[in-house]
Amino acid sequence: MTEELEKKLNELLGLKKQIEEMTADKKKSDAVSEFGEKSRKTKVYFYIYLAISVGILLFGVKGMEMNTGNQFIALFVAIVGFEGTVLMKMWYHTVATRLAILQEMKEFELRITEMLKK
């Protein structure tokens, strides 16, 4: 009787360990997918605003080529478009770095909690 009970308890403990491993894997995959989704959204916003900035830049350059007398205004528009592209690149790299750091911190936190459970 005790052997059967011991066998059943061992089976249950094995199942408990499997469940804990599965939940740890699920947490890891959830964290990775969450940061992957945020990164994808950031890329989409970056490319949209970069395209707008490049459009403004090209509009200003085209205005400078025309001899309408408003070349100073066209130069200003071209500079604004160029600055927009620079700012968008800086913004993107800042956000991408922040997301990468947050993802590493989350993975580190999960590893620490996993080690503490053992």
pLDDT tens digits along 48-62: 988 998 888 888 888
> CA-to-CA distance for 114 and 73, rounded, in angstroms?
61
Q: For residue 104, what are the contacts with CB-CB under 8 A and spacing of at least 6?
A: none
pTM summary value: 0.62
| Residue pLDDT, tens place only, 12-70 | 666 566 666 666 667 777 777 787 888 888 889 888 988 998 888 888 888 878 777 77
